[in-house]
Structure 1
Amino acid sequence: MKFSCVALPGFLLAFLLSYTTVAQSPQTPVLRYALTQATTDTSRVLLLADLSASFRYSRHDSVLYYAQQGLDLARRIHFAKGEGRCLTRLALLQSERGNLPQALRLNLQALQRNEASHDMDGIARTFNQIGLLHQSLDDHRQAFQYYFRALAIYRQIRTHDTSQLVSVLANIGATYTGAGQLDSAAYYLEKAEAEVLRETPGRWSSWGNPEPYVLRELGLLAAARHQNRDALNYYRRSAQAAMPENDLRSACRAYQYLAELYEDQQQTDSSVFYGRKALHMGQKLSYVVGIVHTSRLLADAFASRGQADSALQYLRIKQVAQDSLYNPLRLKQLDAIALAEVQRQQKLEQEQSEYQVRLYIYAMLAGLGGLLLITLLQARHNRQQRRTNAQLQELHAQVVEQKETLVAKRDELSHMLRDLKTTQNQLVMRDRMASLGELMAGVAHELQQPAQAIDNLAGISEQLSAELRGAVQALPLEKEQAEPLQDMVQSLAQYQATLRRHGQRVGNIVRGMREYSGKQPAMRQLINLNELAENYLHLIYHDALAKNPEMQVTLDLQLDEAVGEVLLVQHDIGRALINIFLNAFHALHTRTHQPDVPADYVPILTVATLRTGEEVELRVRDNGPGIPMDAQGRVFERFFSTKSPEQATGLGLALSQEIVAEGHGGTLAIESEPGAYTEVIIRLPAPQLPTVESAAATV
């Protein structure tokens, strides 16, 4: 539907636009431009209502013009929401002019249209305006009822119109001030001020910036608390804030309260000055309430000066305004309208109550019908259930028999599958171990000859060093010349001894690799347990570094020399140590990469040996993540592992326990605390061997 309105003569419209431009608020130009761009009648109605609201405190004839235009269009297109909002603006205009009965009548009409269109913003605004009417008549109880209903709606719909929310909060605070409840007044006025400060400047709705109103009411609260200096400050700030908004009403009230405060302080000149400014603002806006209060104040001021003519002039102004505001006929009309509204509300509540009773009765009847239907269906079901129970019992017996047969077959298949998996894993592990043995045999073969050559050459070098030392001593040299040569020969001999010792160590490692590869028979022999543990530790550590170059582990060796040589199968114990060291380095690597690892965490692997009588102990301890409590009882089970299947087969600790317990008559135990450490303890029988001295003494 295209927009059509009552046409105005061109010269009249131009005059009105130029006239209102002077009196407009900051929101008016934006709304007027939006009106020219509107494409639907409904949006035009709402924009006309907003334009009307933007002139409410600056130009009443513009309020009437835009509100009436919007109301006429809304009624033509049957737009209830727009009709309610325009009626609210007309009611506001009548209230400002002092025609309270007509204002209440229009507000009640607007409320009906708001409710019919479910316009919650409109309902809340209408409640707020009705509350203002009761507040102006000092009917605080009724004012509070309407204010709090408006506030509840704004909070329910989470309104974005801060101007309206602040208006309700400030109205509640002002009413509490009038009722003498100053603490409650301060609470709501401070909340209103906080909302004003929170809002972004320049983003106010068509109702404008409510800051002048809030500051004025804070001034009244300060005056009620006898804080006159604060009150003067608030009044001046209110008048100053009203100027950018072109808010003549707030300016009028601010000047009025300044005049009254100066009158109380017996500063008559200041009181008259601000009183005349307030009266000028009130007459310019046709604000009847402000005219009444200000003319009364000026009349009293001139009477106290003895200027009867001026006092009489202002009394006449007061009387005219007061007659329009407190006309007995209008008050009776207001009471009649209020009574009619109360009766309407009571009728609505009664109808609502009757409707709820009817709904309750219908629900009860529906429930009884449902229960009866359920009872009939249950009886029919019971009869069918009894007929089928016999058949079900017979079928149940057959199912139980078949189930037992199937369970037996399933268990048999499960055992077969488990054995098959065990065999398969053992074959895979055996194949891997065989491949590893062949690899180690090849490496040992390649290293054996260079290691033997190093050992032989180191021995020859030691002999040559001894001969060279003798030759140096036989030379007829001075002491100053002989000592440097002797020192160099001595250092050379020490280097050769060190080289030979490390060559022997390489040979031991090669022999261990050949034994591990299975190329030599598994027979027990006396082995230095400390050297064996140290060799395999370094071997596995270098392997771990090759796989994870960034890993840095502190190796802590606590080897007891009293352990000495122990009778054992070297490559079997070597296999057990390899499994244990691999697990320890994996635990430390895992702990290093956990997200909750402390910044000062240092991975430490401790290898300790100890002789305890006829036994020796070998302890391997890491400060990794530990073993979970629910897994500690299963660590020696075959194919159980806390690692992923790609990382482990779950056979390492099981094979290690077999080597220690069955192959050497010892024990292998694990102690662990989750999040702290894991310690593997190997105990081997190791009787004390007689020394050379003790054997000689025996002979």
Structure 2
Amino acid sequence: MLLLFLEFFFSSITHGQSKTDAELYTIWCDVTKPETERLDAIYKRLDIDSLSNQEPEWWKKWDGEVKEAIELAIKNNKKGYLALFYVMNMSACEGNTECMCINAKKAIESAKVINTSKLPIIFWAYYTLKFDCKEDVKDELIINEFNKIKKALSNKPSDLKILRDANFSLGEWFSLNEKYPQALVYLLESLRLSEELKTLDFHYSRNYQTLANIHTQIGNYKEAEKYIDKSLQICHSIKDTLQMGSSYLGKSNLMLKFKDEANAQLYVDSAMYVMKNVKHCEPCYNIAKTLNAGIKNLSKNYSEALTELKEVEAFYNKEGGGQKPDSRFYIEKARTYLGLKKYNNAIQTINALKVSEQTYNKDVSDKYDILSNAYEGVGDNKNALKNYRLHVQTEDTLAKWRNSSEVTRLELENQFKQKQLQSDLHFQNQLNKQKSTRNWLMFLGLSTLLFALGLYSRLRYTRKTQKLLQLKNEIIEAEKEKANTALNELQSTQAQLIQSEKMASLGELTAGIAHEIQNPLNFVNNFSELSVDLTKELKEEVEKLEIPEKDKAYVTEIIGDLSQNQDKINLHGKRASSIVKGMLEHSRISNGQKETTDINALCDEYLRLAFHGLRAKDKSFNASIETHFDANLPKIKVITQDIGRVLLNIINNAFYAVSEKSKVESSKSDVHYEPKVTIGTTSMGNMVEIKITDNGGGIPDHIKDKIFQPFFTTKPTGQGTGLGLSLAFDIIKAHGGELRVESLPAEGNADHFGKGGGSEFLILLPL
């Protein structure tokens, strides 16, 4: 627990440079230098405002020096250094709980004389006492430490940054103790201070992720998604790989809550890709494996899910260093056993997840829900009812917390606005005093002009009348324009409603047909697999019979033909199942609400996710990516999830096209081909244009009119259903937009979109 906190806390700072670290380490190791100079060197290097994101080897190097530093600090009466040294020494006690507890208590005692700028580090000592030493640390004690820090600070930016970090630490304390309403107060205040200071750093990103985790745990998923998206945006800005991977895992977990299997897999693949070079994050991979198991549970692949979870369990049993799996592991494993109808195993697994009294979160709610279903499965209705009631009680509490969290957020926003208004009022009062003095001087001068102004009063009256008439004309024109705009919007809305009704009817018909086909297909697939096994057994039994070799060979040949036929039936049955699945997806009409969306950010996100997802599956694939976004592009109202599906379909097709062409061109020694995908946006009056271009093989003219038809595909059998572009076409049309495709000429290179062979998709959306 402690090492995880220290890594997150210290890895947030990026001011330090390796050269400075080497110089300070040299000073510290030089025993000929004065002890106070050596102490200053190690203290400066371990200063939380100068540490960079270091590997475990760096920590081990300094861990070995801290004990000597403590001895020298005591000897030279450097009491202000001791709290930081004792906190650092806790990480050197890895595996020795008694050592960690002793150093934590010494750090707290030493903090009484610590420099104000280092006070927030003392929270980590309290974390250790609570979670590693299992001591009863009261919330009041932590709050007193916080108030001591707050009282010692001023309104200087450097002090406000310390106050921000202290609020964040206290919010983390309450979050880890599952006291979410209290945690939200301090985390939102920390967030406000980050925005006021305009500070882009690790704490800012992790603050958003912690808020997302809390809202996930209380079931407020829409709010959680806003926070986790903001965390990812900051991670990309500051290039924090570890936090980026953690946020991707959080987004994947959130997609599981939405039961969005495709996006859950996409985000977990992205997390694995960005963290592939992070050597000291083995637990991160196990969290990813647990999420993979959750995705497989969602698609009812329980056997594969159990295999993933057993690999995670093996890691913690052998290499975990005393760590235990998180709550998601127990929940997904219990769900797997429920799916396999192994109810007693599910009960045993979920009971390993210990829950304190008066603890309410989604994990606790899921535990009671799983126990209720498992006990019902074994016929223990009494325990099933008991756990169902606990599940409902937990959900009721979470509903109250969700309402409370929204009230807290609005109150803090109101307080911030009040402070801004007070500041503006004070400024206005000062300005009014200056204006008052100036106005008296102006009055004396203006008095001499009154007579002259009277002569011009008639002229002014005439001009005023003309301006009034002009203003009325402008108002009439504006009202006319407003009426025309309202009429156009009404006509557009009517068209969209008609299209929605058509799509809903078609969707119901398609879904009905697909469901009817799915049932006999399941029987075909299941019995064909069974027949394959039976023919194998029959072949083995024939081998044992004592019959003439000629007859045996004839019978064996017939059995082989039967086996091949069953394999083909099974293969094409599965292909038909894939088509039916696509029909069901095609028939699903989104009921989401339109939201104001940054199209540039949406395009950039899905381009990156599609690339990372493909790279995670095919390590050999690579392509050049270019973006040309209109910086002045206005935000527009769309159904974000639907437009995201359109972008993902088209971008995936572009990557597939350049990948296939790369395979062909790589066999030609005299041709150098560089796969390239480009995406750009342009504002075109009352429309927004999104252009996606690739330099793949292009689209022949004779099939251009067919590619938006359902079930039409140019991919090999089994690799595509032909529903992706059809669905994309319907979504864009429902938004009142247009989707077009062009095949680029094979020669020339006219612009930055690479018009030199390939395909170009144009998406037009109304503002």
Same fold (TM over 0.5): no
TM-score band by shorter chain is 0.3 to 0.5
TM-score between the two structures when normalised by the length of structure 2? 0.32
TM-score between the two structures when normalised by the length of structure 1? 0.35
Between Structure 1 and Structure 2, whose CA radius of gyration is higher?
1
